[in-house]
Structure 1
Amino acid sequence: MKKLFLAIGLFACAAIATTASAQDTLAIYRKLDSIAVIDQKVMMPMRDGIRLATDIYRPKGNGKYPVVFSRTPYNFNTWIDGKMVNGPLQAAYEAVSRGYVYVVQNERGRFFSEGEWDILGTPITDGYDALEWMSKQSWSNGKVGLIGCSSTAEWQMAVASQNHPALAAMVAQGFGAGVGRVGKFMEQGNWYRGGAQQMLFTSWLYGTQHDKLAPRLPLGIQQKDVQRLQKFYDMGPEYPRVDWAQGLRHLPVQDIIKNVQGSEGVYEKMIVRKPNDPGWFKGGLYHDNMPMEVPAYWFVSWYDVSSAPNIALFNHVRNAAKSKMVADNQYLVIAPVLHCSYKRATENTIVGERSVGDARLNYDELTWGWFDMLLKGQPNDFKTTQPRVRYYTMGANKWQQAESFPLPNTEMKPFYLASAGKANTRNGDGALSMMPPSKDIPDAFTYDPMNPVGSYGGNVCCTGNAVQGGSFDQSQMELRNDILVYTSDELKDGVEVTGFIESTLYVSSTGLDTDVTIKLIDVYPDGKAYNLDETIQRLRYREGYDKEVFMEKGKVYKVDLTPMVTSNYFAPGHKIRIEVSSSNFPRFDRNLNTGGNNYDESKGVVVENKIHHSKQYPSVIKLPMIKK
């Protein structure tokens, strides 16, 4: 049986089958059919003549209704091997029963849609043209709202910048791969973090990009023929399973997909781009010099791949919107879950190995209240009952609310790195101190690219079996000699850390280029050490992403890392810890330390790296403490 669709999300790598039984599916379809006009595989025309396959579900009768629009690179076919499967039927029923038209569309070049595919459904004019077409239909009230998580959200921002008058509201969840540059973050859609490649795209593109030689339906095929074909030929290729724990180790990086005999596609052109390549600014990414005049409800996860830039985008839109109405209609929810796993929260939500308590939230109620207010103009209690920012504090295990993020009562508390030169492993003498040490006795470790520190848990997505996201006990990992460990004294009073975490390290190396990584940890009284967030910086980009500045042997460099973000209560008896190293693989690609391109190299150079800490070199992490 062919795959129905890949899991919702830009990075979903494993196919999932519908969970509904055949009987349940038929029941859903009958309920939907009783209230809706079902029009599948409408070939919606774009301005250049290319047509995108679109399923439309609308209330019966001659009324005019607002549209809820979902656009995706994934397969939403409701038929497999001649049998009806769930597809979007439940979502369509939910929308139609509430008085909305539900529209789901494949991006250009995906499945039954015509044209050539590129990531984020470019060109962005396709999104504009879809809004134009839907708003002018006889069943439309002229207002459209966008909804989706990950891939069904990430295209929304760039299209919103086109300022189509019908676009009245957005619900964007797990949307980081649509953010190119915002404030301090220049990730180019999660391709980079601190100038290092995030390897999730390698495994994701293996299962997403269609081969350039894949069979296509003829241009101009009629809707009735597509409807007939979808019942026995769903255009969904079967990709051989890959052991990505091994597959991502292949060098050079540019040949990883080729090495597993994957399809040829956009990966090969993207892997050679540097962080400031003009190509990043010509596709479907949103950058902070683009307008954003659309009310938006943003949903973020603490253990997603891009929590910090996502929150930064929320702040940017609030501050940059020209319309007061738009600025006042930006709302944010931050949940303690993995990528696009909001509704998987339970009475005892486990993220990785750590319990974060009852993190449930009625997302349907929030979403439809938002749409009713903005697409229907219905008076409701959304504004009076929903906080501007709703965030979950782990450790305290409770939902909290604020008018802004970071919180107004935030104090940035510095914790300086200190040691007598032996911070290697958790058994070393590394400490976090309120005052910088007087003497520079650096901590040294050897970084071998062929033996990198493994990614264990973390704020990740979609690397198959290579990395499992979430919070895991890092204490065994901390026995590696190439991990420097700095720990605070035991806390007498509990402290809440909520907001952006700033890190400055002073680094020297025997190499031309290397990476520095950092990880924030909550250490429990029993010694278990749970990761909260992590980041990396490629040192050739320490002075900015528009130039590469290599290192001189032994010279000490100031390195400001990309901010981390969290909300965590460190209870009495706990300790605050950070880990410093030069690799976190395969979440991030290995720096081979040569000063070369890295993506086309197969051999690395072993280097000795040092972290300096003194009054002259005040390596520090600044934690956003909340005053109570």
Structure 2
Amino acid sequence: MKMLRSLLTVLALAGGAALAADPPAYPGLPSETPESVTPATDSFDYEKRVVQIPMRDGVKLSTVILIPKGAHDAPILLTRTPYNAAELTSHNESSHLAALIQGYDHAADVIVEGGYIRVVQDIRGKYESEGDYVLTRPFRGPLNPTPVDHATDTWDTIDWLVKNLPESNGRVGIIGISYDGFLSLAALVDPHPALKAAVPMNPMVDGWRGDDWFHHGAFRQQGMGYVYEQVVTRKNEAKWFSSHYDDYDTFLQAGSAGELGRRRGLGQSGYWRKLLAHPGYDDFWQQQAMDKLLAARPLTVPTLLVHSLWDAEDIYGAPAVYKALTARADSAPLVRMAMGPWVHGGAIGDGSFIGAIKFRSDTAWEFRQQVLKPFLDEHLRGIKPARPLARVTAYETGTGRWLGLDGWPRGCTAGCRIQPTPLALQPGGALTLGGAPRGGDAGFDEYVSDPAKPVPYRQRPIRPMGYDEAKGLTWPRWLVDDQREASGRTDVLVYTSEVLTRAVKIAGEPVARLVASTSGTDSDWVVKLIDVYPDEVPAQPALGGYQLMVSGDIFRGRYRESWSQPKALKPGEPLAYSFSLPNANHVFLPGHRIMVQVQSSWFPLYDRNPQTFVPSIFDARPQDYRVATQRVYRRSVVELPVVVAE
């Protein structure tokens, strides 16, 4: 045995000695990757320059510049973005500028045809730009003690561009959608003299009144993933993870939005902490509302606001800015607005349909060619349009036609006016236009609202807020979903008119004027105005009986008396609620019917109201969520902005 151990030891030592010896030398293969590469771009019809533009505080912002080959006296079209300028300008690698930017740029066809110098810039703190990131950074003042904001950054950027691009004519326009639309509005605050045109498309304007974060106090919790991904890393590397295929289950299992945020580590996001701290309409929101900020100073830059009638994200913003600016005599002449039958950002895509709803033409292409192009041509290229643009270019849904209007709300070019007209809720689920409610003060309809079974805002399974139809991520078009799913529930009140024998045109904001009670101490109220198609539509069979939401919104009851100071509701007491629904420009056609639906949850887009008053619904505990009996009294009406002949 000892001999065997000795032999093994000798063999092991010999093997170790062999391993310790220098390995045999083999000739290496030279690397096939050069130390640096110079792209061969001689055949390209554009030149790309990537520069770091210094701001007044020394921070440098990464900026991608695309210049058409041979450009001279070319206008500049700028977009400032938190969404990665390098990626946005290299989506399709191509030697042709049209192909390079097609499919994701704000108006690729108009940009290429107009010979614009295209500039896309990372805002401070995002991607390749220096500095600290603050989501929708407030302007200098009480909420921002620094000397810089998006207005100063835009001013410094434009100043650099006009001094360092000899190919330009010194005229700059700014264009952007959503967050980029907010940044386009920011450029109008103390603008650079070279800024000659602004096109804010679907801009974020007021995060509490009716854009991204709240609607009348109800929190839009499906946006929590955005707050995480957009804020916690510079390049959006951290991802909001999924735990269920159906978002309904994700949010219901967590309980409150605050609890889900805690479980997901959302407290690392500075903006999330601000949302938790400001659930009411306090100075934090009011001092950032872009319509209020712009109304406080004269507008000096021609501005084209672009609004989508079925915008799932920023349906409040553009019309609010239009209203604020046109209220000033010194600003009104410079403002134009286009309203189209689109989803969020739909003006740059295919505007011939939204889901099952088809239009007679590509409405987005018509807008780009007949409104956007003449607007930019006039102010950036000095080319006068064949005829002046209307103050408001509005698509009339229902009839499918464009109208050139002299203001908004306005139902026709001449010979008409807006007549506020009540849609009265009647016994038996009836609905009458222009008539008085029947049933007296005591008449009501009721339903049971159970927080354990909230009303889905669309048919389940509900997928996250994605933009990929092939993967079932159809978030942008949920506002045109068929509402029959909701109308069949016992916790949704449904009121329907007789079949219309004449057309009913509305233009403007419908107003929900509810008289309602709850057995709880807090409650949400959702009101939806719906166009019910005929039972059969031979040309489009899928639209037979379709319930198309024309306008709808939610109101959190605790803010009935004050948007900034929540107050418990008195159980069982009929209380008045009045709130505006989003703008519509629609004709209910003969053969159709008008419907109103009323419910107390729209889940999981909006967080559940526990129906028990708590200081902050973000902190609601499981025992706070209680069943409530809801009564809607027949003194309630939905006031329609009906267009009538003079």
TM-score between both structures, scaled by the size of structure 1:
0.79
The DSSP-based 3-state class of the residue aligned with 1:476 is: helix
- Contact 2:266 2:272 (8 Å CA) reproduced: no
The structural deviation recorded for 1:520 is 0.5
The amino acid that maps onto 1:38 is K
Of 244, 255, 259 in structure 1, the residue corresponding to residue 263 of structure 2 is 259
The one-letter code of the counterpart of 1:479 is G
Distance 1:61 1:314, change over 3 A: same
CA distance in 1, matches of 2:88, 2:563: 47
Which one of 405, 409, 423 corresponds to residue 406 of structure 1? 409
Contact in 1 for aligned 2:206/2:316 (Cα 8 Å): no
State the alpha-carbon separation in 1 of the partners of residues 133 and 613 from structure 2.
33
Deviations 1:31-89 (A, max 9, x none): 9843x44211x111122222111111235579554321101111232599999479964
Aligned ranges 1:129-140 → 2 under 5 Å: 129-137=156-164, 139=166, 140=168
Instruction: Verify: 1:470 aligned to 2:479, yes or no.
Output: yes
Change (3 A) 1:542 1:556: same
In structure 2, relative to structure 1, the CA distance for the partners of 1:200 and 1:461 (3 Å cut) is: farther
2:498 counterpart letter in structure 1: D
| Equivalent residue for 1:619, pick from 632, 636, 640 | 636
User: Residue 511 of structure 1: CA displacement?
Assistant: 1.6
Say whether 1:316 aligns with 2:324. Answer: yes
Query: Structure 2: which amino acid aligns with 1:393?
Result: E
* CA–CA distance in structure 2, aligned partners of residues 137 and 368 of structure 1: 26
CA distance in 1, matches of 2:474, 2:117: 40
SS at match of 2:587: strand
1:8 corresponding residue in structure 2: none
Q: In 2, distance between residues paired with 1:76 and 1:309?
A: 24
The one of 580, 599, 602 equivalent to 2:618 is 599
Q: Give the superposition deviation at 1:482.
A: 0.9
Where does residue 174 of structure 1 map in the other structure?
Answer: 202
Instruction: Report the CA distance between 1:167 and its aligned residue.
Output: 2.0
Q: CA deviation at 1:565?
A: 2.0
After TM superposition, the runs of 4+ consecutive aligned structure 1 residues lying more than 6 A away are 79-83
User: Which one-letter code corresponds to 1:387 in the other structure?
Assistant: A
Give 1:146's aligned residue. 174
1:196 Cα deviation from its structure 2 partner? 1.0
Distance 1:83 1:330 in 2: 35
Superposed CA deviations along residues 415-457 of structure 1, whole A, max 9, x for unmatched, are 21122xxxxxxxx534336112252221111112221111028
Q: Partners in 1 of 2:339 and 2:304 — Cα distance?
A: 11
Cα separation, 2, equivalents of 1:154 and 1:200: 21
Task: Give the 5 Å matches for 1:202-351.
Answer: 202-211=224-233, 235=235, 237=237, 239=239, 242=242, 243=245, 244-249=247-252, 250-260=254-264, 264-265=268-269, 266-281=271-286, 285-288=290-293, 289-291=295-297, 292-305=299-312, 306-320=314-328, 322=330, 326-345=331-350, 349-351=352-354
Q: Compute the displacement of 1:538 (Å).
A: 0.9
* Separation of aligned partners in 2, 1:514 and 1:108: 40
**Offset of residue 594 of structure 1:** 2.2
In 2: Cα distance, 1:67 partner to 1:410 partner: 41
Look up the match of 2:188. 160
**One-letter code of the match for 1:157?**
L
**Separation (CA, whole Å) in 2 of partners of 1:147 and 1:141:** 18
Q: Higher mean Cα deviation, 162-171 or 552-561?
A: 162-171
Please provide the CA RMSD for this pair: 3.3
Give distance in 1, aligned partners of 2:533 and 2:224.
35
Alpha-carbon displacement from aligned partner over 1:516-556 (angstroms, at most 9, x marks no partner): 11001111221432211111111111123132222112222
What CA deviation, in whole Å up to 9, does each residue of 1:388-436 have, x standing for no partner? 22222222122223211111522222121122xxxxxxxx534336112
1:194 to 216, 228, 247: 216
Per-residue CA shift, 1:148-200, capped at 9, x if unaligned?
A: 2112212222331223322221111111x2345xxxxx527532211111234
Counterpart secondary structure, 2:490:
coil
**Does 2:532 match 1:528?**
no
What amino acid maps onto 2:52 in structure 1? M
Q: Which amino acid aligns with 1:159?
A: A
Distance 1:490 1:561, change over 3 A: same
Among all aligned residue pairs of Structure 1 and Structure 2, give the percentage whose two residues are the same amino acid. Answer: 26
Structure 2 residue 577 is matched with structure 1 residue 559:
yes
Aligned equivalents of 1:104 and 1:82: distance in 2?
A: 13
Q: Calculate the TM-score normalised by the size of structure 2.
A: 0.77
Distance 1:512 1:78, change over 3 A: closer
CA distance in 1, matches of 2:629, 2:596: 20
Q: How far does the alpha carbon of each residue in 1:290-349 deviate from its partner, in whole angstroms, 9 at most, with x for none?
A: 324321111111110343442232122122252xxx522322211112111224335xx3
Q: Whole-Å Cα distance in 2 between the matches of residues 194 and 104 of structure 1?
A: 34
Give the AA of the match of 1:453.
Answer: V
Verify the 8 A CA contact 1:503 1:563 in the aligned structure 2: yes
Q: Write the letter of the residue equivalent to 1:444.
A: E
Paired with 2:325 and 2:355, the residues of 1 have a C-alpha distance of 32
Q: 1:371 aligns with which of 364, 373, 376?
A: 376
Counterparts of 1:378 and 1:260, CA distance in 2: 53
CA contact (8 A) 1:308 1:563 kept: no
CA contact (8 A) 1:521 1:529 kept: yes
Contact between 1:169 and 1:374, CA under 8 Å: does it hold in 2?
yes
- Matched residue SS, 2:200: strand
Q: 1:375/1:472 Cα in 2 relative to 1: closer, same or farther (>3 Å)?
A: same
Residues 382, 107 of structure 1: alpha-carbon distance in 2 compared, 3 angstrom cutoff: farther
Residues 490 and 138 of structure 1: CA distance in aligned 2, closer, same or farther (over 3 Å): closer
8 Å CA contact retained: 1:338, 1:469: no
**Larger mean Cα displacement after TM superposition, 525-534 or 447-456:** 525-534
Q: Give the counterpart letter for 1:278 in structure 2.
A: D
Whichever residue aligns with residue 312 of structure 1, its letter is: A
Computing the radius of gyration from Cα coordinates, the structure with the larger value is 2
Q: 1:461 to 1:83 in 2, by over 3 A?
A: closer
Conserved 8 A contact 1:204-1:462: no
SS in 2 for 1:496: strand
Q: Is the 8 A contact 2:291 2:320 kept in 1?
A: no
Any idea what SS the aligned residue of 1:131 has?
A: helix
Given candidates 392, 395, 409, the residue that maps to 2:395 is 392
Aligned to 1:451: 453
* SS in structure 2 of the partner of residue 558 of structure 1: strand
Per-residue Cα deviation, 1:205-243 (whole angstroms, up to 9, x for no partner): 2332233xx7xxxxxxxxxxxxxxxxxxxx562636534
- Are the aligned partners of 2:64 and 2:120 in contact in 1 as well (CA < 8 Å)? yes
1:580 CA displacement: 0.6
Contact 2:300 2:334 in 1 (8 A): no
Q: How far apart are the structure 2 equivalents of 1:37 and 1:316?
A: 41
Do 2:256 and 2:607's aligned partners in 1 also have CA atoms closer than 8 Å?
no
2:136 maps to 120
Asked if structure 2 preserves the Cα contact closer than 8 Å seen for 1:359 and 1:392, the reply is no
Match of 1:508? 517
SS at match of 1:469: helix
Structure 1 residue 558, shift from structure 2 partner: 0.9
- How far the C-alpha of 1:261 sits from its partner, in A, is 5.8
CA contact (8 A) 2:89 2:101 kept: no
